[in-house]
Structure 1
Amino acid sequence: MEILLEEFYKTDLHLDKFHDRKVQIDEKSYQISGITKSGKTQLVKSYLLSHKKNSYLYIDCDDIRIDIEQLNNLLNQFCHNNRIDILVLDNYKKGVDFANVSQLLITTALKLDIPELEYINLYPLDYEEFLAYEHKYDSSALNHFFQLGGLAIMHKIYADERNIYLQHILKNALDDMEFDILVLCAKLNSQKLSAFTIYERLKAKRKISKDKLYKSFQNLVEKKYIHQLEKFDHTKATKKLYLCDTSLKSALCLEKNFSRLFENMVFLELIKKSKSVYYEDEIDFYLPQNNEIILCKPFADERRLFKKLENIEAFLFTHSITKITVITMTKEGSVSHPLSKVDIIPFDIWALGD
């Protein structure tokens, strides 16, 4: 094991075309979690490469050559002998002991209860981060975002291989039950969906334990492969379900619904902005702190929009809504309404705004 530690210590790290993320690492110790290929390893390596090589030790805990018991016996002394300031335990496994170093960085799929570590949840790229990977910013950028999603690695995968690649990395990251649930969620994204409904659908196709399914569903939520959205002031109502990245839709199912995919994309931008958000009947997103509602209308039609506004006037009045934002693909403008200001904004302009 000591020979393996020497190998880790001497091996040069490489990072290809990394673009800065909005999340940054400083001198504190961190736990960084996120879905597979969200950029955890790249973020850590970028930070390490700004330091002297002999000051850090990078260990990928997925390396099958690692014996945890032997590692625990040797790691602290090895770090002391080599005056290591920064220790990285990538793909951290429970049972691996922390060494006494100035800075510890671990990456995990699931958030662990480690109070001494600052916590970072790393989402896939948002639209602004995605643009750093584009050769030029023009009308094609948004279409690329729909095709590729927020996983930076997808820029390096040929178009004909992307779906199979995504299937493989998801199967590797999830167990069979979690993967089957995620496939069904991809078919029904941006809709009200409960664990019980998923159970009812899947039990017709395979022998399944309700307890195991509920646990697997909760694991997907905690790992943030799926997101749930509550109905405003109705915590017991069925939650709406969204995918962690829009690229999963085409990779995991044949069903196409552009409006629902567009809504999913808007939702991901909202949670990355740390907005408090809910849904309401006939309202895609309600932001109470802003007195704002958001309607997702990729191809806005003014006649239908007026009809929609009529249907939700009671909610607008009751909750003193002062701002209605209608997010579209390309259309821009405003609509006169007696209760609220109505702005029609293309997704790219909205996503890049404050």
Structure 2
Amino acid sequence: MTTLEFCHELEFSKINFIERKIKINHPRTIITGPPKSGKSFLIFDYLSNYNQEDYIYIDFSDYRNEKDEIEKNLEEYVFRNKIKVIVLENFEFDFKIPFCESVIISTKLDTTLKGYKKLFLTPLDFEEYLLHDKKNQNITQTFNNYLKNGNLPGVVNIDEIHTFNRLHDLIILINKDKTSQEILKILFLNIDEKKSLNQLYLALKNKIKISKDKFYEECKYFEKNKIVYFIEKYEQKKATKKIYSYNPAFLSAITHKKKFKNELTNIIFCELINKYKDIYYLDYIDFFIPSKKLAIVSIPFFNSFMMQSQLKKIYKIVDEYKIKELFIITVSNDEQFFHQNIEVNVLPFYEWSLS
């Protein structure tokens, strides 16, 4: 059996797909997103609308698929078999795409093609996680698992020990070599921290042999592929940036140190990136959305009586930037009160994310 015959026989109609907020609704689509965010299952859902003989699914990360054979014979094979949909997973745009009624591409490359719609898929937000969770737990327990195990679709319903193994394997998968792994680990260890790349480079240099060029090159790669985010301070481009990961569970997967506030803040960030493009931080404000005059502060265990000093610092920034909405996100606390004419909403994460 040839590679193309094998790829043509693959069938996805029986895949148990759970709806995502993003769908493929254009016949020519390029999908990007960080590793294991669910890109393939989005494609499987799209293919379920077709008969098996009408599509060909080619994954270039599958070692069994002979790339030279595909490049040489794909156009003729598509024409001869009257194929309606070509799927090219993990494609690098290194040969001409044959004409077809529909072409769906997943790739790591930031490529734009005329006539193609681009989709960027992040892992599950909390509402999607609830739909995927089959354990029928109460919402508090589901949130605890979401915070502990992360937002990747593939870890929702597996045991905790296997979750850690999956995350460790994923760190290896993302990286080219051991040095890249160490760079990514030090970035993950500093989520929700204000650290310059130079600070992190010097810290890592004390641990392993590494060049500055290599360190900065890898950081740029992780940022470009939305594995790590560097958030600016509002209107202060030269200020130290804050670091976040596309999956907060990486932190607990690489250290025994408990950084509960950092993980909660990172998971809040993951909810925001699908809603807003203009996300910054301010002194005492974790996230500021200037277009909405919206401020969000992460305080896992909030008590308004005990935190008057911290609230005064927050209010000063609220007044300075004419902020109209202030949310304080917690694990379980729920309060509402006013600062002047601004309502301060203290909400558990799961209430805020679903509101």
1: CA distance between counterparts of 2:212 and 2:147?
34
| Distance change (3 Å), C-alpha of 1:60 and 1:85 | same
Alpha-carbon shift at residue 196 of structure 1 (Å): 1.6
Partner of 1:167: 168
Give the secondary-structure state (helix, strand or coil) at the position aligned to 2:251: helix
> Unpaired segments of 5 or more residues in structure 1?
none
Mean Cα deviation higher: 218-227 or 303-312 = 303-312
Partner of 2:217: 215
Alpha-carbon shift at residue 304 of structure 1 (Å): 4.3
Partner of 1:344: 346
1:267 aligns with 2:269: yes
- 8 Å CA contact 1:15–1:45 kept in 2: the answer is no
Alpha-carbon shift at residue 305 of structure 1 (Å): 3.6
2: CA distance between counterparts of 1:87 and 1:197?
46
Alpha-carbon shift at residue 275 of structure 1 (Å): 4.6
Partner of 2:158: 157
Partner of 1:330: 332
2: CA distance between counterparts of 1:149 and 1:302?
29
Alpha-carbon shift at residue 64 of structure 1 (Å): 2.1
Alpha-carbon shift at residue 274 of structure 1 (Å): 2.7
- 8 Å CA contact 1:68–1:96 kept in 2: the answer is no
| Distance change (3 Å), C-alpha of 1:63 and 1:312 | closer
Give the secondary-structure state (helix, strand or coil) at the position aligned to 2:132: coil
Q: What is the RMSD computed on CA atoms of the aligned residues?
A: 1.8
- 8 Å CA contact 1:178–1:217 kept in 2: the answer is no
Give the secondary-structure state (helix, strand or coil) at the position aligned to 2:155: helix
2: CA distance between counterparts of 1:270 and 1:305?
25
- Number of aligned residue pairs: 352
| Distance change (3 Å), C-alpha of 1:192 and 1:133 | same
- 8 Å CA contact 1:75–1:99 kept in 2: the answer is yes
Deviations 1:165-192 (A, max 9, x none): 2111220232123321221122111011
Alpha-carbon shift at residue 16 of structure 1 (Å): 4.3
Partner of 1:286: 288
Partner of 2:258: 256
How do residues 38-117 of structure 1 correspond to structure 2 at under 5 angstroms? 38-117=37-116
Alpha-carbon shift at residue 158 of structure 1 (Å): 2.5
Partner of 1:146: 147
2: CA distance between counterparts of 1:236 and 1:15?
52
- 8 Å CA contact 2:139–2:350 kept in 1: the answer is no
Give the secondary-structure state (helix, strand or coil) at the position aligned to 1:123: coil
Partner of 2:133: 134
2: CA distance between counterparts of 1:71 and 1:288?
49
Give the secondary-structure state (helix, strand or coil) at the position aligned to 2:346: strand
- 8 Å CA contact 1:291–1:320 kept in 2: the answer is yes
- 8 Å CA contact 1:189–1:242 kept in 2: the answer is yes
1: CA distance between counterparts of 2:270 and 2:207?
31
2: CA distance between counterparts of 1:316 and 1:19?
40
Alpha-carbon shift at residue 115 of structure 1 (Å): 4.2
**Amino acid of the structure 2 residue aligned with 1:178:** S
**Amino acid of the structure 1 residue aligned with 2:145:** H
Give the secondary-structure state (helix, strand or coil) at the position aligned to 1:312: helix
Alpha-carbon shift at residue 285 of structure 1 (Å): 1.0
2: CA distance between counterparts of 1:156 and 1:327?
26
Q: Give the share of equivalent positions with the same residue, in percent.
A: 28
**Amino acid of the structure 1 residue aligned with 2:184:** L
**Amino acid of the structure 1 residue aligned with 2:333:** K
2: CA distance between counterparts of 1:61 and 1:96?
12
**Amino acid of the structure 2 residue aligned with 1:54:** E
Deviations 1:258-289 (A, max 9, x none): 01111111111011223522101111111112
| Distance change (3 Å), C-alpha of 1:204 and 1:224 | same
2: CA distance between counterparts of 1:274 and 1:81?
46
Deviations 1:101-139 (A, max 9, x none): 111111123422434421111101000000012233532
- 8 Å CA contact 2:129–2:156 kept in 1: the answer is no
2: CA distance between counterparts of 1:23 and 1:78?
31
- 8 Å CA contact 2:297–2:327 kept in 1: the answer is yes
Give the secondary-structure state (helix, strand or coil) at the position aligned to 1:303: coil
**Amino acid of the structure 2 residue aligned with 1:180:** E
**Amino acid of the structure 1 residue aligned with 2:158:** I
2: CA distance between counterparts of 1:343 and 1:89?
46
**Amino acid of the structure 2 residue aligned with 1:131:** L
- Scaled by the length of structure 2, what TM-score is found? 0.94
**Amino acid of the structure 2 residue aligned with 1:49:** S
Give the secondary-structure state (helix, strand or coil) at the position aligned to 1:125: coil
Give the secondary-structure state (helix, strand or coil) at the position aligned to 1:256: coil
1: CA distance between counterparts of 2:152 and 2:107?
17
**Amino acid of the structure 2 residue aligned with 1:134:** D
Alpha-carbon shift at residue 51 of structure 1 (Å): 1.1
Once superposed, which parts of structure 1, at least 4 consecutive aligned residues long, lie more than 6 Å away? Answer: none
- Scaled by the length of structure 1, what TM-score is found? 0.94
Alpha-carbon shift at residue 254 of structure 1 (Å): 2.1
Alpha-carbon shift at residue 10 of structure 1 (Å): 1.6
**Amino acid of the structure 1 residue aligned with 2:174:** A
1: CA distance between counterparts of 2:35 and 2:264?
22
Alpha-carbon shift at residue 210 of structure 1 (Å): 1.1
2: CA distance between counterparts of 1:10 and 1:304?
64
